[in-house]
Structure 1
Amino acid sequence: MAQSRGPKIGRRPKKKAVPVAAARPWGVIATVAAVAVLAVTIIGYAAFASWRGTRPWGDRLAEISGLTDYKAQKPAWLTQDHKEGPLDYAVKPSVGGDHNGAWQNCTGDVYPAPIAAENATHSLEHGAVWVTYRPGLPAEQVRQLEERVRGKDYTLMSPQENTPGPISLQAWGYQLVVDSASDERIDTFLSAARINAGPEVGAPCSRGITDTGTAPPPSAGG
Protein backbone atom coordinates (compact mmCIF):
# COMPACT_ATOMS: atom_id res chain seq x y z
CA MET A 1 0.00 0.00 0.00
CA ALA A 2 1.45 3.27 -1.11
CA GLN A 3 2.16 5.77 1.59
CA SER A 4 0.98 9.34 1.04
CA ARG A 5 3.62 12.02 1.13
CA GLY A 6 2.95 15.06 3.20
CA PRO A 7 4.05 18.56 2.33
CA LYS A 8 7.75 19.18 2.36
CA ILE A 9 8.80 21.35 5.24
CA GLY A 10 11.72 23.81 5.24
CA ARG A 11 11.81 24.77 1.56
CA ARG A 12 11.12 28.38 0.62
CA PRO A 13 9.98 29.50 -2.84
CA LYS A 14 12.81 30.86 -4.98
CA LYS A 15 12.92 34.66 -5.38
CA LYS A 16 13.49 36.19 -8.77
CA ALA A 17 16.83 37.97 -9.11
CA VAL A 18 16.44 41.75 -9.30
CA PRO A 19 18.86 43.30 -11.80
CA VAL A 20 21.12 45.94 -10.25
CA ALA A 21 21.15 49.20 -12.21
CA ALA A 22 24.63 50.24 -13.29
CA ALA A 23 25.85 53.50 -11.75
CA ARG A 24 25.66 56.44 -14.16
CA PRO A 25 29.02 58.11 -14.90
CA TRP A 26 27.80 61.52 -13.78
CA GLY A 27 31.29 63.01 -13.79
CA VAL A 28 31.82 62.11 -17.44
CA ILE A 29 28.35 63.34 -18.39
CA ALA A 30 28.94 66.67 -16.66
CA THR A 31 32.31 67.08 -18.39
CA VAL A 32 30.87 66.31 -21.82
CA ALA A 33 27.99 68.72 -21.23
CA ALA A 34 30.35 71.48 -20.14
CA VAL A 35 32.54 70.96 -23.21
CA ALA A 36 29.47 71.06 -25.45
CA VAL A 37 28.27 74.32 -23.90
CA LEU A 38 31.74 75.84 -24.27
CA ALA A 39 31.93 74.76 -27.91
CA VAL A 40 28.54 76.29 -28.68
CA THR A 41 29.59 79.50 -26.93
CA ILE A 42 32.85 79.72 -28.87
CA ILE A 43 31.16 79.02 -32.20
CA GLY A 44 28.43 81.52 -31.42
CA TYR A 45 30.92 84.23 -30.48
CA ALA A 46 33.00 83.56 -33.59
CA ALA A 47 29.90 83.88 -35.75
CA PHE A 48 28.92 87.10 -33.96
CA ALA A 49 32.42 88.55 -34.34
CA SER A 50 32.43 87.63 -38.01
CA TRP A 51 29.07 89.31 -38.49
CA ARG A 52 30.27 92.45 -36.69
CA GLY A 53 33.30 92.61 -38.98
CA THR A 54 31.19 92.47 -42.13
CA ARG A 55 28.83 95.29 -41.20
CA PRO A 56 29.18 98.68 -42.92
CA TRP A 57 32.28 100.53 -41.74
CA GLY A 58 30.22 103.56 -40.70
CA ASP A 59 28.15 101.44 -38.33
CA ARG A 60 31.28 99.99 -36.76
CA LEU A 61 32.75 103.46 -36.27
CA ALA A 62 29.54 104.82 -34.81
CA GLU A 63 29.64 102.22 -32.03
CA ILE A 64 33.05 103.36 -30.76
CA SER A 65 32.67 105.06 -27.41
CA GLY A 66 34.20 108.53 -27.37
CA LEU A 67 34.38 108.91 -31.16
CA THR A 68 33.89 112.43 -32.52
CA ASP A 69 32.07 112.42 -35.86
CA TYR A 70 32.88 115.69 -37.60
CA LYS A 71 31.22 114.49 -40.79
CA ALA A 72 27.93 114.70 -38.95
CA GLN A 73 28.72 117.65 -36.66
CA LYS A 74 30.79 119.98 -38.86
CA PRO A 75 30.53 118.91 -42.51
CA ALA A 76 31.34 122.46 -43.67
CA TRP A 77 34.84 122.07 -42.25
CA LEU A 78 35.64 119.17 -44.56
CA THR A 79 36.39 121.08 -47.75
CA GLN A 80 38.75 119.53 -50.27
CA ASP A 81 40.52 122.37 -52.08
CA HIS A 82 44.27 122.35 -52.72
CA LYS A 83 45.95 125.38 -51.20
CA GLU A 84 49.65 126.00 -50.77
CA GLY A 85 51.51 127.11 -47.68
CA PRO A 86 50.49 126.97 -44.02
CA LEU A 87 46.78 126.49 -43.29
CA ASP A 88 44.72 126.78 -40.14
CA TYR A 89 42.62 123.84 -38.95
CA ALA A 90 39.75 124.00 -36.48
CA VAL A 91 40.60 120.53 -35.18
CA LYS A 92 44.12 119.62 -34.15
CA PRO A 93 45.45 117.25 -35.31
CA SER A 94 43.50 117.82 -38.50
CA VAL A 95 40.60 115.57 -39.48
CA GLY A 96 40.04 117.08 -42.92
CA GLY A 97 39.64 120.26 -44.90
CA ASP A 98 41.68 122.13 -47.49
CA HIS A 99 45.25 120.90 -47.78
CA ASN A 100 48.50 121.15 -49.71
CA GLY A 101 48.78 119.44 -53.07
CA ALA A 102 51.34 116.89 -51.84
CA TRP A 103 50.26 114.18 -49.47
CA GLN A 104 52.36 112.67 -46.71
CA ASN A 105 53.51 109.17 -47.57
CA CYS A 106 51.14 106.82 -45.75
CA THR A 107 52.21 103.27 -46.53
CA GLY A 108 52.66 102.35 -42.90
CA ASP A 109 55.19 105.14 -42.33
CA VAL A 110 56.33 105.81 -38.77
CA TYR A 111 57.77 109.32 -38.59
CA PRO A 112 60.17 110.10 -35.74
CA ALA A 113 59.19 113.77 -35.58
CA PRO A 114 56.06 115.89 -36.10
CA ILE A 115 54.81 116.34 -39.67
CA ALA A 116 52.87 119.08 -41.42
CA ALA A 117 49.10 118.85 -41.02
CA GLU A 118 48.70 120.34 -44.49
CA ASN A 119 50.22 117.20 -46.03
CA ALA A 120 48.81 114.67 -43.56
CA THR A 121 45.32 116.02 -44.25
CA HIS A 122 45.78 115.18 -47.91
CA SER A 123 46.66 111.63 -46.81
CA LEU A 124 43.40 111.46 -44.87
CA GLU A 125 41.56 112.46 -48.03
CA HIS A 126 43.06 109.38 -49.70
CA GLY A 127 41.73 107.16 -46.90
CA ALA A 128 44.65 107.04 -44.47
CA VAL A 129 44.42 106.95 -40.69
CA TRP A 130 46.87 109.28 -38.95
CA VAL A 131 47.98 108.00 -35.55
CA THR A 132 49.45 110.75 -33.39
CA TYR A 133 50.79 110.85 -29.86
CA ARG A 134 52.18 113.39 -27.46
CA PRO A 135 55.97 113.59 -27.22
CA GLY A 136 56.96 111.89 -23.99
CA LEU A 137 54.53 108.99 -24.35
CA PRO A 138 56.22 105.96 -22.70
CA ALA A 139 58.41 104.04 -25.14
CA GLU A 140 56.47 100.81 -24.65
CA GLN A 141 53.24 102.52 -25.68
CA VAL A 142 54.93 104.05 -28.72
CA ARG A 143 56.12 100.55 -29.66
CA GLN A 144 52.57 99.18 -29.40
CA LEU A 145 51.35 101.90 -31.75
CA GLU A 146 54.19 101.25 -34.18
CA GLU A 147 53.22 97.58 -34.37
CA ARG A 148 49.77 98.59 -35.58
CA VAL A 149 51.09 100.99 -38.21
CA ARG A 150 54.48 99.99 -39.57
CA GLY A 151 54.20 98.58 -43.08
CA LYS A 152 50.38 98.79 -43.13
CA ASP A 153 49.15 100.67 -46.17
CA TYR A 154 46.92 103.70 -45.57
CA THR A 155 48.33 104.43 -42.14
CA LEU A 156 50.92 106.86 -40.85
CA MET A 157 52.13 107.81 -37.41
CA SER A 158 53.94 110.73 -35.84
CA PRO A 159 54.37 112.57 -32.57
CA GLN A 160 52.45 115.86 -32.49
CA GLU A 161 52.50 118.64 -29.92
CA ASN A 162 48.82 119.53 -30.30
CA THR A 163 47.10 116.23 -29.59
CA PRO A 164 44.03 116.56 -27.32
CA GLY A 165 45.10 113.48 -25.35
CA PRO A 166 48.05 111.12 -24.99
CA ILE A 167 47.05 109.36 -28.22
CA SER A 168 44.79 110.64 -30.98
CA LEU A 169 43.65 108.90 -34.15
CA GLN A 170 42.41 110.85 -37.16
CA ALA A 171 40.56 109.75 -40.27
CA TRP A 172 38.74 112.06 -42.69
CA GLY A 173 35.92 113.48 -40.56
CA TYR A 174 36.61 111.38 -37.46
CA GLN A 175 38.76 111.59 -34.35
CA LEU A 176 39.30 109.22 -31.44
CA VAL A 177 41.30 110.24 -28.37
CA VAL A 178 42.52 107.55 -25.95
CA ASP A 179 44.78 107.44 -22.91
CA SER A 180 46.65 104.21 -23.59
CA ALA A 181 48.04 102.22 -26.51
CA SER A 182 46.38 99.11 -25.07
CA ASP A 183 42.91 100.58 -25.64
CA GLU A 184 40.96 98.14 -27.83
CA ARG A 185 39.13 100.99 -29.55
CA ILE A 186 42.31 101.76 -31.49
CA ASP A 187 42.02 98.51 -33.43
CA THR A 188 38.32 99.02 -34.10
CA PHE A 189 38.97 102.52 -35.39
CA LEU A 190 41.80 101.38 -37.66
CA SER A 191 39.80 98.45 -39.00
CA ALA A 192 36.71 100.51 -39.79
CA ALA A 193 38.16 103.84 -40.95
CA ARG A 194 41.30 102.82 -42.83
CA ILE A 195 40.72 103.24 -46.58
CA ASN A 196 36.97 103.66 -46.06
CA ALA A 197 36.64 107.10 -44.47
CA GLY A 198 38.47 109.12 -47.12
CA PRO A 199 36.42 110.76 -49.87
CA GLU A 200 38.98 109.69 -52.50
CA VAL A 201 38.93 105.95 -51.92
CA GLY A 202 41.51 104.26 -54.11
CA ALA A 203 43.84 107.26 -54.32
CA PRO A 204 47.44 106.23 -53.56
CA CYS A 205 49.34 106.55 -50.32
CA SER A 206 52.68 105.90 -51.99
CA ARG A 207 54.81 108.50 -53.77
CA GLY A 208 54.04 111.08 -51.10
CA ILE A 209 56.50 113.30 -49.31
CA THR A 210 58.44 111.99 -46.32
CA ASP A 211 59.58 115.31 -44.86
CA THR A 212 59.19 115.96 -41.15
CA GLY A 213 58.56 119.32 -39.54
CA THR A 214 55.34 121.21 -38.99
CA ALA A 215 56.00 123.76 -41.74
CA PRO A 216 54.75 122.33 -45.04
CA PRO A 217 57.39 122.03 -47.77
CA PRO A 218 56.68 123.42 -51.25
CA SER A 219 54.06 121.19 -52.85
CA ALA A 220 54.18 119.85 -56.37
CA GLY A 221 50.44 119.17 -56.37
CA GLY A 222 48.61 115.85 -56.37
Structure 2
Amino acid sequence: MIANGFIRDSFNAMIGALECAAERAGLITRHAPVTRAAARRFMSRLRQLETLLRRLLVLMAAELELDMQPLTPAKAGVSSSKPAPSNTTRAHPERSRRTGTRTPGFPLLRILRPYTAEDAARLSALPRRAPRPADETLLVHRYCTLLKHLQHPERLARRMARHLARLRTGGEIRPTCAPQPGLHRLSAELGALAACLPALIAAALSDWYDTG
Protein backbone atom coordinates (compact mmCIF):
# COMPACT_ATOMS: atom_id res chain seq x y z
CA MET A 1 0.00 0.00 0.00
CA ILE A 2 1.47 3.33 -1.07
CA ALA A 3 0.95 6.19 1.33
CA ASN A 4 -0.90 9.21 -0.01
CA GLY A 5 1.79 11.48 1.40
CA PHE A 6 4.39 9.90 -0.87
CA ILE A 7 2.22 10.48 -3.94
CA ARG A 8 1.39 14.06 -2.96
CA ASP A 9 5.01 14.93 -2.18
CA SER A 10 6.07 13.46 -5.52
CA PHE A 11 3.59 15.60 -7.42
CA ASN A 12 4.62 18.71 -5.47
CA ALA A 13 8.27 18.08 -6.35
CA MET A 14 7.37 17.65 -10.02
CA ILE A 15 5.34 20.87 -10.00
CA GLY A 16 8.32 22.73 -8.57
CA ALA A 17 10.65 21.24 -11.20
CA LEU A 18 8.22 22.17 -13.99
CA GLU A 19 7.91 25.78 -12.82
CA CYS A 20 11.68 26.05 -12.45
CA ALA A 21 12.20 24.75 -16.00
CA ALA A 22 9.59 27.17 -17.38
CA GLU A 23 11.24 30.08 -15.57
CA ARG A 24 14.67 29.17 -16.93
CA ALA A 25 13.27 28.95 -20.45
CA GLY A 26 11.69 32.40 -20.11
CA LEU A 27 8.06 31.29 -20.35
CA ILE A 28 7.08 32.96 -17.08
CA THR A 29 9.10 36.18 -17.06
CA ARG A 30 8.73 36.84 -20.82
CA HIS A 31 11.59 39.35 -20.71
CA ALA A 32 12.93 38.12 -24.08
CA PRO A 33 11.91 35.72 -26.86
CA VAL A 34 12.55 32.06 -26.07
CA THR A 35 15.57 30.81 -27.97
CA ARG A 36 15.65 27.45 -29.69
CA ALA A 37 18.29 26.13 -27.29
CA ALA A 38 16.14 27.10 -24.29
CA ALA A 39 13.11 25.48 -25.94
CA ARG A 40 15.04 22.24 -26.47
CA ARG A 41 16.15 22.17 -22.84
CA PHE A 42 12.61 22.85 -21.65
CA MET A 43 11.13 20.10 -23.83
CA SER A 44 13.75 17.65 -22.60
CA ARG A 45 12.83 18.35 -18.99
CA LEU A 46 9.14 18.21 -19.92
CA ARG A 47 9.52 14.72 -21.37
CA GLN A 48 11.26 13.55 -18.20
CA LEU A 49 8.43 14.87 -16.05
CA GLU A 50 5.82 13.30 -18.34
CA THR A 51 7.52 9.93 -17.91
CA LEU A 52 7.42 10.34 -14.14
CA LEU A 53 3.75 11.32 -14.36
CA ARG A 54 2.82 8.20 -16.32
CA ARG A 55 4.62 5.98 -13.82
CA LEU A 56 2.98 7.66 -10.87
CA LEU A 57 -0.39 7.19 -12.56
CA VAL A 58 0.28 3.45 -12.85
CA LEU A 59 1.13 3.41 -9.16
CA MET A 60 -2.08 5.24 -8.29
CA ALA A 61 -4.17 3.08 -10.63
CA ALA A 62 -2.91 -0.10 -8.98
CA GLU A 63 -4.56 1.05 -5.74
CA LEU A 64 -7.98 1.54 -7.35
CA GLU A 65 -10.54 -1.25 -7.48
CA LEU A 66 -12.42 -1.47 -10.76
CA ASP A 67 -14.71 -4.16 -12.10
CA MET A 68 -13.99 -4.50 -15.80
CA GLN A 69 -15.76 -7.06 -17.98
CA PRO A 70 -14.25 -8.30 -21.25
CA LEU A 71 -15.75 -6.62 -24.29
CA THR A 72 -17.77 -8.76 -26.67
CA PRO A 73 -17.53 -8.16 -30.44
CA ALA A 74 -20.91 -6.38 -30.39
CA LYS A 75 -19.82 -4.02 -27.59
CA ALA A 76 -16.47 -3.40 -29.19
CA GLY A 77 -18.16 -2.10 -32.34
CA VAL A 78 -17.36 -5.10 -34.56
CA SER A 79 -20.22 -6.08 -36.83
CA SER A 80 -20.61 -9.81 -37.42
CA SER A 81 -22.72 -9.24 -40.57
CA LYS A 82 -19.90 -7.56 -42.47
CA PRO A 83 -18.80 -9.80 -45.35
CA ALA A 84 -15.26 -11.05 -45.29
CA PRO A 85 -12.94 -9.98 -48.11
CA SER A 86 -12.41 -12.44 -50.90
CA ASN A 87 -9.20 -14.40 -51.29
CA THR A 88 -8.27 -12.47 -54.41
CA THR A 89 -8.67 -9.10 -52.69
CA ARG A 90 -6.80 -10.28 -49.61
CA ALA A 91 -3.87 -11.70 -51.56
CA HIS A 92 -3.60 -8.91 -54.15
CA PRO A 93 -5.20 -5.71 -52.75
CA GLU A 94 -3.52 -3.38 -55.27
CA ARG A 95 -3.47 -5.47 -58.44
CA SER A 96 -6.09 -3.24 -60.08
CA ARG A 97 -3.94 -0.15 -59.53
CA ARG A 98 -0.95 -1.50 -61.41
CA THR A 99 -1.93 -0.27 -64.86
CA GLY A 100 0.05 1.64 -67.43
CA THR A 101 3.77 1.92 -67.96
CA ARG A 102 6.16 2.19 -65.06
CA THR A 103 8.02 5.47 -64.78
CA PRO A 104 11.64 5.45 -63.65
CA GLY A 105 12.37 6.46 -60.09
CA PHE A 106 13.47 10.03 -59.32
CA PRO A 107 12.62 11.52 -62.73
CA LEU A 108 13.38 15.08 -61.58
CA LEU A 109 16.77 14.32 -59.99
CA ARG A 110 19.57 16.34 -61.57
CA ILE A 111 22.63 14.62 -62.92
CA LEU A 112 25.21 14.44 -60.15
CA ARG A 113 28.43 16.33 -60.76
CA PRO A 114 31.47 17.24 -58.66
CA TYR A 115 31.13 20.04 -56.14
CA THR A 116 33.23 22.97 -57.37
CA ALA A 117 34.44 26.25 -55.91
CA GLU A 118 31.82 28.12 -57.92
CA ASP A 119 29.09 26.18 -56.11
CA ALA A 120 30.61 27.12 -52.76
CA ALA A 121 30.75 30.79 -53.74
CA ARG A 122 27.16 30.66 -54.95
CA LEU A 123 26.00 29.18 -51.65
CA SER A 124 27.95 31.71 -49.59
CA ALA A 125 26.38 34.56 -51.58
CA LEU A 126 22.86 33.52 -50.61
CA PRO A 127 21.20 35.88 -48.10
CA ARG A 128 21.28 34.64 -44.53
CA ARG A 129 18.44 35.04 -42.10
CA ALA A 130 18.64 35.39 -38.39
CA PRO A 131 17.46 32.29 -36.52
CA ARG A 132 13.79 32.52 -35.74
CA PRO A 133 12.73 32.27 -32.09
CA ALA A 134 10.93 29.18 -30.91
CA ASP A 135 7.16 28.94 -31.04
CA GLU A 136 6.11 29.89 -27.52
CA THR A 137 2.49 28.88 -28.10
CA LEU A 138 3.31 25.17 -28.17
CA LEU A 139 5.61 25.46 -25.16
CA VAL A 140 3.03 27.33 -23.08
CA HIS A 141 0.33 24.83 -24.05
CA ARG A 142 2.48 21.86 -23.02
CA TYR A 143 3.42 23.62 -19.79
CA CYS A 144 -0.19 24.44 -18.85
CA THR A 145 -1.42 20.95 -19.74
CA LEU A 146 1.22 19.17 -17.69
CA LEU A 147 0.73 21.57 -14.77
CA LYS A 148 -3.01 20.87 -14.78
CA HIS A 149 -2.43 17.11 -14.76
CA LEU A 150 0.10 17.38 -11.94
CA GLN A 151 -2.27 19.44 -9.82
CA HIS A 152 -5.30 17.20 -10.45
CA PRO A 153 -4.17 13.68 -11.44
CA GLU A 154 -7.25 11.83 -10.17
CA ARG A 155 -9.04 11.68 -13.53
CA LEU A 156 -5.98 10.37 -15.32
CA ALA A 157 -5.45 7.79 -12.56
CA ARG A 158 -8.98 6.44 -13.05
CA ARG A 159 -8.42 6.29 -16.80
CA MET A 160 -5.16 4.42 -16.27
CA ALA A 161 -6.92 2.02 -13.88
CA ARG A 162 -9.53 1.23 -16.52
CA HIS A 163 -6.81 0.69 -19.10
CA LEU A 164 -4.90 -1.69 -16.83
CA ALA A 165 -8.11 -3.54 -15.99
CA ARG A 166 -8.83 -4.05 -19.69
CA LEU A 167 -5.33 -5.38 -20.26
CA ARG A 168 -5.60 -7.72 -17.31
CA THR A 169 -9.05 -8.97 -18.32
CA GLY A 170 -7.83 -9.56 -21.86
CA GLY A 171 -5.00 -11.80 -20.66
CA GLU A 172 -2.15 -9.43 -21.52
CA ILE A 173 1.23 -9.85 -19.89
CA ARG A 174 2.11 -7.75 -16.88
CA PRO A 175 3.47 -4.30 -17.80
CA THR A 176 7.12 -3.77 -17.01
CA CYS A 177 8.74 -0.54 -15.86
CA ALA A 178 12.34 -0.16 -16.98
CA PRO A 179 14.74 2.18 -15.16
CA GLN A 180 14.46 5.73 -16.45
CA PRO A 181 17.63 7.05 -18.14
CA GLY A 182 19.14 10.46 -17.53
CA LEU A 183 18.58 10.56 -13.76
CA HIS A 184 21.75 12.63 -13.31
CA ARG A 185 19.94 15.53 -14.99
CA LEU A 186 17.23 15.55 -12.33
CA SER A 187 17.36 16.98 -8.85
CA ALA A 188 18.21 14.72 -5.92
CA GLU A 189 14.55 14.43 -4.90
CA LEU A 190 13.25 13.63 -8.37
CA GLY A 191 16.18 11.33 -9.07
CA ALA A 192 15.42 9.29 -5.96
CA LEU A 193 11.75 9.18 -6.94
CA ALA A 194 12.51 8.00 -10.48
CA ALA A 195 14.96 5.38 -9.18
CA CYS A 196 12.47 3.77 -6.79
CA LEU A 197 9.42 3.82 -9.08
CA PRO A 198 10.26 0.61 -11.04
CA ALA A 199 10.44 -1.43 -7.83
CA LEU A 200 7.27 0.16 -6.44
CA ILE A 201 5.33 -0.51 -9.65
CA ALA A 202 6.55 -4.11 -9.78
CA ALA A 203 5.38 -4.63 -6.19
CA ALA A 204 2.01 -2.97 -6.87
CA LEU A 205 1.40 -5.25 -9.88
CA SER A 206 2.77 -8.39 -8.23
CA ASP A 207 -0.64 -10.11 -8.19
CA TRP A 208 -0.90 -9.79 -11.98
CA TYR A 209 -0.62 -13.29 -13.45
CA ASP A 210 2.58 -13.59 -15.45
CA THR A 211 4.22 -16.78 -16.68
CA GLY A 212 7.63 -15.08 -16.61
TM range, smaller chain: under 0.3
Query: Greater helix percent: which structure?
Result: 2
Query: Greater strand percent: which structure?
Result: 1
In the superposition, the TM-score normalised over structure 2's length comes to: 0.19
Higher relative contact order, chain-length normalized (CA < 8 Å, sep 6+): 2
